[in-house]
Amino acid sequence: MKVNVKHSLLAAAVAAALAAPAAYATNGYFKEGYGTKSRGLAGASVAYAQDSLAPASNPAGLTGVGNRVDGGIELFNPNRDGSLDGRGIGGAASDVESGATVFAIPNAGFAMDLSGMSVGFAMVANGGMNTRYNTNIYDQALAPAAGAPVGFLPNTSTLGVNLAQLLMLPTVAYKINQDHSIGASLVVGYQTFRAYGLGDFAAFGFSSDPANLTNKGDDTAWGAGGRLGWTGQLTSSLTVGATYSSKVYMQEFDHYKGLFAEQGDFDIPANYAVGIALKASPDVTVAFDVQRIEYGDVPAIANAGPSAAEFLGAFAAPINPARLLGTDGGFGFGWEDITIYKLGVDYAYNSQWTLRGGVNIGENPIDPDQNLFNILAPGLVEKHLALGFTYSPNQNNELSMTYMHAFREDQSYTYAMGPASYTAEIGMDQNSIEASYAWKF
């Protein structure tokens, strides 16, 4: 009966995630941590695994979590807005705030210790991008600049995108000796995407395939990659860890091959991290990670958006074919590689209560001169604060909660070409609360 309950809980969480993957954006568009406990440490978990979600941070950590099943749900609240002032090119000014401000994001995992070897499975939302504007800022601000009335194209009254990514990680970890462990995960990726309201870019000649640019509904893609990890206890109080995740090579979004570079290709970037966990006292553990995400190696998101000359020139002459949306060198979002620093403190108050908190500071992947397209994907927050706790009523059950806040970031840029200019501004802040239950057996 207990095994059936365990399997039912995990299957339900996996089914929920596959049915309704939710959009995300924190460290770029990656989550800052995976699992409620890791989130409470602002993601500092490469050398400090605490539950069966460990493979999403470092597969080697699975050897230290025992036999357990975890399931959780996060309520995520991103607040996104943008403005576009096209009056300097004969257009108009428009300000928008994104709707769809609450998302429910499940996660689940299990781990089993097989005497020196551990096996498990983790299912997490990797990240994503979402905006839904009830006013089409591009149409409002730019259509008049081309001598066209606002709303002259069908399906341009609203504007938005939704990219959601799910990772499933079957994992094997092996304890080499008393102090060192290694692990490996197959990373199975699943993602969905839709875009709507981008008809102006088709009409003004920005796409190599205008029929597969916008308003094509949800498209899905599967892919695969790998993740390796190591942990080592160097002293009785110091543990270190390292992990590397390859690029996850995804199928193309065929319905949006006129939008994303390389004919709809949108791989999940490689990333790697190192971490330490220091047991400062019998009750206090301090964890610190440094992570690098290689957004710059995924052309769909890394290729630069249009310069002022390219954008303004499009109103008078055809765009260079090599820069059209959907081509190998086509316009993208201009995201760059980023480095993230994560610091967390875990305090075992007593046998039932553990308190934790953390700070996560990452780089903004978006340079200000890339604001125009990133009105659709304003993943520019840098500073995160997390607080959480775990309550263990007995040795077999745990309840955990975490709150995270990403502080407000804004950036503005004026694109100028001679006397003509336009200004694009983006902004975002975030709140999140996550709760999870664990059964240890």
Convert the pLDDT of each residue in 270-328 to its tens digit: 999 999 999 999 999 999 999 999 999 999 999 999 999 898 888 778 899 999 999 99
Output the pLDDT for position 2. 47
Dihedral pair phi/psi, residue 436, rounded to 5°: -150, 160
The domain locations on the chain are: 2-440
| Percentage, residues of the chain above pLDDT 70 | 93
What is the predicted pLDDT for the residue at 14?
56
Rounded Cα–Cα distance for residues 394 and 130 (Å): 40
Determine the Cα–Cα distance for residues 16 and 7; give it in Å rounded to an integer: 14
In the chain, what percentage of residues exceed pLDDT 90? 83
Quick check: 55 and 122 in contact, CB under 8 A? yes
Helices (H), 31-120: 36-40
Q: How confident is the model at residue 204 (pLDDT cuts 50, 70, 90)?
A: confident
Q: Is the pLDDT of residue 180 over 90?
A: yes
Closest CA to 213 of 201, 223, 204: 201
Task: Please tell me the predicted confidence (pLDDT) of residue 144.
Answer: 84
Say which residues have a Cβ less than 8 Å from residue 419's Cβ, sequence separation at least 6: 88
User: What are residue 250's DSSP bridge partners?
Assistant: 223
pLDDT per position as a tens digit, 73-83 = 999 999 999 99
* pLDDT range class, residue 250, cuts 50, 70, 90: very high
User: What mean pLDDT, rounded, does the chain reach?
Assistant: 93
Task: Identify the band that residue 12 occupies on the pLDDT scale cut at 50, 70 and 90.
Answer: low
Q: In degrees, to the nearest 5, what angle opens at C-alpha 405 toward C-alphas 404 and 406?
A: 125
Instruction: Provide the pLDDT for residue 28.
Output: 94
pLDDT band at 1 (very low <50, low <70, confident <90, very high): very low
Among candidate residues 122, 227, 118, the one with its CA nearest the CA of residue 181: 118
Over residues 51-69, the mean pLDDT reads 98
Give dist(CA 357, CA 374) in Å, integer.
31
SS (H, E, C) 11-38: HHHHHHHHHCCCCCCCECCECCCCCHHH
pLDDT at 25 over 50: yes
Query: With contact defined as beta carbons under 8 Å apart, do 424 and 83 qualify?
Result: yes
- Please say whether the beta carbons of 238 and 277 come within 8 A: yes
Architecture of domain 2-440: Beta Barrel (2.40)
**What average pLDDT does the segment 213-235 reach?**
97
